[in-house]
Amino acid sequence: MSLTVDLSGKTALVMGVANARSLGWAIAEPLLAAGCRVGFSYQGERLKGELDKLLAGHAGVWSQQADATREEDLAALFARVREEFGHLDYLVHSIAYAPRPAMEGRFISTTSDDWNTALNVSAYTLVSAARHAEGLLRDGGSVVSLTYHASRQVVPKYNVMGVAKAALEAATRYLAADLGAAGVRVNTISAGAMRTVAARSIPGFSGLYDEAGRRAALGRHATPEEVGKLALFLLSDLGSGVTGQTVYVDAGASVMTMPLPG
């Protein structure tokens, strides 16, 4: 069976592409390949050069700076979405941050400031972005974000980011309930460990990465391309009927307690 997804006439906003390794970019690529018109937001001007390089050669794309924690940036970003597209079909949230000290020590030492920052950037921004998008999202619209299994099990050093991911997953369910009546779906993708800028800033990430590959049921890591394929499914009509879910793409690392012997 050959199944092609045609997203011509559809529009998407992807928030959080730092470079070619970003999971946001892994999601944008199949959207662009399927003919979707895509706008991008980036946090600071220092990332604009990288993004411009990625976008060169793609027709109909645009980008705008927006710190997702700033209401005025979000208001300007979604005003731009309205101006460029008139409506929005797909919203991709691929944003997370926790201050480094919160991921170096023991979880019990998390300061209130670091807690607030991590949860604000990594979870609340999904809620605020969805609120700004609400008036633009049409029936059949879909919102996707990215989470990680440390929301459910302790991953050493992930600390407050595990709590932020648990909040993101819960927020996904509440947003799905709020937006469901308008025919808009909200899901989050739980991706396996992947080598990105954000991941490299987690202390001990390479040990975690190696262990995930050893233990995964498929005996390998999931890839960014596989994250992109799952996002395409969840965003497009292929995923109609799926909402409020945390969907894993981790090559089965999270279902194993240890590698099979031999």
Binding positions for NAD(+) are 16, 43, 95, 165
Nearer to ligand NAP, 19 or 140 (CB): 19
Which CA distances in Å does 52 have to 15, 33, 41, 131, 174? 14, 18, 11, 28, 35
Per the CB < 8 A criterion, the answer to whether 254 and 246 are in contact is: no
| Cα angle for residues 228, 139, 60 (degrees, 5° grid) | 50
Which pairs from 48-52 meet CB under 8 Å and 24+ separation?
50/18, 50/19, 50/20, 51/17
Annotated catalytic residue 90: no
Binding-site residue positions for substrate: 98
- The reply to whether 143 sits near ligand NAP by the rule CB under 6 A is no
Annotated catalytic residue 148: yes
* Range in contact with ligand NAP (rule: CB under 6 A) among 21-29, 31-39, 57-65, 230-238: 21-29
Strand order in the sheet with 11-15: 62-65, 37-42, 11-15, 88-93, 137-147, 185-191, 246-249
Which residues, 158 to 197, sit near ligand NAP by CB under 6 A?
Answer: 191, 193-194, 196-197
Which residues, 73 to 132, sit near ligand NAP by CB under 6 A?
Answer: 94-97, 121
Nearer to ligand NAP, 182 or 218 (CB): 218
Nearer to ligand NAP, 64 or 142 (CB): 64
Instruction: Give the interface with ligand NAP as residue ranges (CB under 6 A).
Output: 16-18, 22-24, 43-44, 47, 67-69, 94-97, 121, 146-148, 191, 193-194, 196-199
